[in-house]
Structure 1
Amino acid sequence: DNLHGANSDEEAASIITRTIDLFGRGGFSIVNWASSSRTVIKSLSPELRAKGLVSIPDDTVLPVERVLGLNWDAEDDKFVFCTNFPKVKEHVIICSRPPTRREIASLVMSIYDPLGLVAQFTIKGRILLQEAWLLKSGWDDAIPEDMFRKWKWWVEQLKSIVNVRVPRCYSTNLGEAKNTELHIFVDASSQAFACVAYIRVEYSTGVDMGLVLARARVAPLKPLTIPKLELQAAVMGSRLAMTIQKEIQVPLSSRVYWSDSQTVLSWIRSEVP
């Protein structure tokens, strides 16, 4: 799989043509092409298009395609999520009876989210999995009633991920940007620590904001103070920013880090808190 963008239909069509030609020299046939542009799709012969795009009347809404394991809504050019988990037992999803630790893991690990776009949902499931682990019960023993209530609440909340729609494109025309900043926010609680990265693109006519990447981790079993967990979040945020700057094809004017912990800010500045 490959996911790419272009500033115009002509540029996108050229990228496709050159890619097909390049791989063709090595004997590879590159097919299943999809685009959010009907013009680009129609420039391709039907046998090169993705299955859902072989025929696209003008009044047809473009389908949701699978790209690098993610669900991509070609019509709106956004990443979307679904709550269809075919490998998870039905009673685990409808909460008809308390699940086992193994069944909790089967659902929590079924949510594929490499960009962390729904980390606010998945981290709560991983916290529950950690709590189930602390019970010291077997993998196939049902969880107790008090934890089952938490589980039902989380499964109900999980249904909301279908409402999460994140634009694939950070901004409409990065080539005209006056200033491009990467903003990293970090935070922690007694149960987890996390960071999230946004890109801020400033034009002469306004400002665009785009979600880039997020990470969330369950707090370790060995108890740490909140300031130390906040520091863990800051370290993770710093590493996230370096990864983004290395991989993203956007020149950044600056990186800005945000934390509400005065203690962590003092540690970073090497001051005595």
Structure 2
Amino acid sequence: MEIIPPEKHKSSKGFYLPHFAVVRNDRSTTKVRIVFDASCPGSNGVSLNQDLLVGPTLQDDLRHILMRWRAHPVCISSDIVKMYRQVRVSSEDVDFQRILWRENSASEVQHYRLLTVTFGTSSAPYLAIRSLRQVAYDEGVHFPIAAKKVLSDFYVDDLMSGCENFIEGQQLYTEMKQLLRKGGFELQKWTSNDKNLMKWIENEEKLGDKSMKEQIKDNRNSEDNDNKIAEEESKTETPKFVDKSDSITKILGLTWDKCNDTFKYLVQLPTIEEPITKRKVISDISRLYDPLGWLAPIVIKAKIFIQKLWTSGLKWDEKLTPQLLTEWVAYRNELLLIKSFEIPRWMNTRKDDTSVQLHGFCDASSEAYAAVVYIRVIDKCSNINVNLVTSKTKVAPIKQLSIPRLELCGATLLSKLLIEVADTLGIPKQHIHAWSDSSVVLAWLSSHPSRWKVFVANRVAEILGSLDRSQWSHVQSKYNPADIASRGIMPSDISKMRLWKQRPDFLRKVVINYNGDDITYDTNTEEKDF
């Protein structure tokens, strides 16, 4: 930032940003972060953010980045040091980022303007991400591996990437550092599940720090550069390699054990305070962070409870009824049991696999419907591995629907989810298969949509627009993992999630019987009033 000359203090072109400090003692770097409130209205009642364009979305969804991260045998993560502050704002716009500041209460208030992209402005994420991608476009020809990763494996300033082996990891690290340095971006807090790669990166980071210090020392020997180097050194923070003794790391909100290469789940809820109201309950439920739906059978219970709160007619700060209170306290007290839940980070996928398939399951109950997707991998040695990829659940609408129609909603949800995962992981459509335990839904899918009533016809058309009828098969309910998610379980019943977490056993067979129970469907029967 720079001081604004006194004669320009009263310029009509400008905006002063309110700001305050937020202290994060749990952070290893940047414990104090300044927050700028660009949504605060000025003297004319209009805020800066109201007049700023947000910009289009440039990066993939968090879900997609996490899915791809799980596909790498060797995973790598890092983040950019003060990403926003590395991007310069156009000179004609910096006056809209003015602040008032003084070192202490005895000092005179100074007028400053911020010269780089600033937290709190609605356009900041777009400007920073667009600048990062531009580096890949401009310099990518010299660093092809890193350029591709920049465009696909960044979530804002977090790199979530990976490779096949140690050698590729070295190459990725080297190219990524060199590419981003072209745009003034530095990476820090490197993490990997490969211990040898971690040691190598740590050594490279230390050599980089030593080289930088030696360069500064050499430059200081030149009288012409003394002032310049002193100024730059005071402004520049050298990125550090962070290697915590604890193997537990937070990755985009998820808890990852890098030593065992597994995801864990930890729930941190505040102490219960009376009275328990709808506002407090929904606040607690919002802390259940499960972006890929690995805990859907447990989380769906919370979603169903939210629906009960709304249908009860309770106001936001009104105390729960005794029945709702008992149900909520029992569920909340059991949430701590989720800490025993673990899921592998790596999905056993490699570039030389013989076959990679997606298998999806759907089901519905009177309270909810669900879809879950597994990846089935046959490696070059003919070993078969099956892993949970993702799931989605939805609470059944308040307006009552029959079970077959809810099952059809679940099938629609599954078809969308399968296509989403296939596109994200680059799996061909012909390697997708869907399963349902509803013979009625499979019968509906066996005829042209025009034959059915509007509700069924619309959904059948949507499903068949994504997947062919030949890609659907019948599965018995006892082998259908989506059955668990559609009904929901209490956290204390987490041991019942074996089928959910470890997949149906028949997916591990060399040859899968897609005829299921050899059920035949009478497609000549008119649709019943389901």
Give the Å deviation of 1:174: 2.3
Give the Å deviation of 1:230: 0.8
Which residue pairs with 1:28 in the alignment? Answer: 185
Deviation track 1:205-255 (CA, whole Å, cap 9, x = no partner) reads: 421011111111111122111111111111111001111111114567611
User: Measured at CA, do residues 82 and 199 of structure 1 come closer, stay the same or move farther in structure 2, by a change above 3 Å?
Assistant: same
Q: Residues 77 and 167 of structure 1 are in contact (CA less than 8 Å); yes or no, is this contact kept in structure 2? A: yes
Tell me the secondary structure at the aligned position of residue 335 of structure 2.
helix
Q: Residues 73 and 79 of structure 1 are in contact (CA less than 8 Å); yes or no, is this contact kept in structure 2? A: yes
- Aligned AA for 1:32? K
Q: Partners in 1 of 2:164 and 2:239 — Cα distance? A: 22
> Which of 218, 231, 239 is matched with 2:416 structurally?
239
Q: Partners in 2 of 1:69 and 1:40 — Cα distance? A: 24
In the superposition, the TM-score normalised over structure 1's length comes to 0.87
Give the Å deviation of 1:27: 0.9
Deviation track 1:169-191 (CA, whole Å, cap 9, x = no partner) reads: 110x5233222110001011111
> Which of 104, 108, 113 is matched with 2:290 structurally?
113
Q: Residues 194 and 217 of structure 1 are in contact (CA less than 8 Å); yes or no, is this contact kept in structure 2? A: yes
Give the Å deviation of 1:192: 0.7
Mapped pair 1:214 → 2:391 = yes
> Which of 83, 86, 98 is matched with 2:267 structurally?
83
Q: Residues 180 and 252 of structure 1 are in contact (CA less than 8 Å); yes or no, is this contact kept in structure 2? A: no
Alignment of 1:128-207 (within 5 A): 128-171=305-348, 173-203=349-379, 204-207=381-384
Q: Residues 255 and 265 of structure 2 are in contact (CA less than 8 Å); yes or no, is this contact kept in structure 1? A: yes
In the superposition, the TM-score normalised over structure 2's length comes to 0.46
Of stretches 247-256 and 125-134 in structure 1, the one that deviates more from structure 2 is 247-256
Give the Å deviation of 1:2: 2.3
Give the Å deviation of 1:136: 0.6
Tell me the secondary structure at the aligned position of residue 194 of structure 1.
strand
Which residue pairs with 2:122 in the alignment? Answer: none
Q: Partners in 2 of 1:34 and 1:170 — Cα distance? A: 19
Give the Å deviation of 1:50: 5.5
Q: Partners in 2 of 1:113 and 1:179 — Cα distance? A: 29
Which residue pairs with 2:434 in the alignment? Answer: 257
Which residue pairs with 2:219 in the alignment? Answer: none
- Aligned AA for 1:155? R
User: Measured at CA, do residues 252 and 64 of structure 1 come closer, stay the same or move farther in structure 2, by a change above 3 Å?
Assistant: farther
Give the Å deviation of 1:158: 1.9
User: Measured at CA, do residues 50 and 106 of structure 1 come closer, stay the same or move farther in structure 2, by a change above 3 Å?
Assistant: farther
Q: Residues 186 and 239 of structure 2 are in contact (CA less than 8 Å); yes or no, is this contact kept in structure 1? A: no
Mapped pair 1:40 → 2:197 = yes
Larger relative contact order (CA 8 Å, sep ≥ 6): 1
Which residue pairs with 2:253 in the alignment? Answer: 69
Q: Partners in 1 of 2:240 and 2:426 — Cα distance? A: 26
Tell me the secondary structure at the aligned position of residue 13 of structure 1.
helix
Q: Residues 180 and 202 of structure 1 are in contact (CA less than 8 Å); yes or no, is this contact kept in structure 2? A: yes
Q: Partners in 1 of 2:372 and 2:329 — Cα distance? A: 27
- Aligned AA for 1:18? E
Which residue pairs with 1:19 in the alignment? Answer: 176
Which residue pairs with 2:161 in the alignment? Answer: 4
- Aligned AA for 2:198? I
Mapped pair 1:269 → 2:446 = yes
User: Measured at CA, do residues 268 and 75 of structure 1 come closer, stay the same or move farther in structure 2, by a change above 3 Å?
Assistant: same
Tell me the secondary structure at the aligned position of residue 4 of structure 1.
strand
User: Measured at CA, do residues 41 and 48 of structure 1 come closer, stay the same or move farther in structure 2, by a change above 3 Å?
Assistant: farther
Of stretches 180-189 and 12-21 in structure 1, the one that deviates more from structure 2 is 12-21
Q: Partners in 2 of 1:212 and 1:113 — Cα distance? A: 13
Give the Å deviation of 1:98: 6.0
User: Measured at CA, do residues 34 and 268 of structure 1 come closer, stay the same or move farther in structure 2, by a change above 3 Å?
Assistant: same
How many residues are matched?
Answer: 258
Stretches of structure 1 lacking an aligned partner (at least 5 in a row): 55-59
Stretches of structure 2 lacking an aligned partner (at least 5 in a row): 1-157, 207-237, 448-522
Q: Partners in 1 of 2:239 and 2:358 — Cα distance? A: 37
Of stretches 188-197 and 205-214 in structure 1, the one that deviates more from structure 2 is 205-214
Q: Residues 181 and 252 of structure 1 are in contact (CA less than 8 Å); yes or no, is this contact kept in structure 2? A: no
- Aligned AA for 2:183? G
Q: Partners in 1 of 2:425 and 2:351 — Cα distance? A: 14
Q: Partners in 1 of 2:311 and 2:278 — Cα distance? A: 11
Deviation track 1:67-93 (CA, whole Å, cap 9, x = no partner) reads: 1221111111111110123xxx4116x
Tell me the secondary structure at the aligned position of residue 71 of structure 1.
strand
User: Measured at CA, do residues 145 and 98 of structure 1 come closer, stay the same or move farther in structure 2, by a change above 3 Å?
Assistant: farther
Q: Partners in 2 of 1:125 and 1:156 — Cα distance? A: 13
User: Measured at CA, do residues 241 and 8 of structure 1 come closer, stay the same or move farther in structure 2, by a change above 3 Å?
Assistant: same
Identity of aligned residues (%): 30
Q: Partners in 2 of 1:235 and 1:118 — Cα distance? A: 21
- Aligned AA for 1:196? V
Q: Root-mean-square deviation (CA), in Å?
A: 2.0
User: Measured at CA, do residues 162 and 49 of structure 1 come closer, stay the same or move farther in structure 2, by a change above 3 Å?
Assistant: farther
Deviation track 1:15-40 (CA, whole Å, cap 9, x = no partner) reads: 12211211111111111111111211
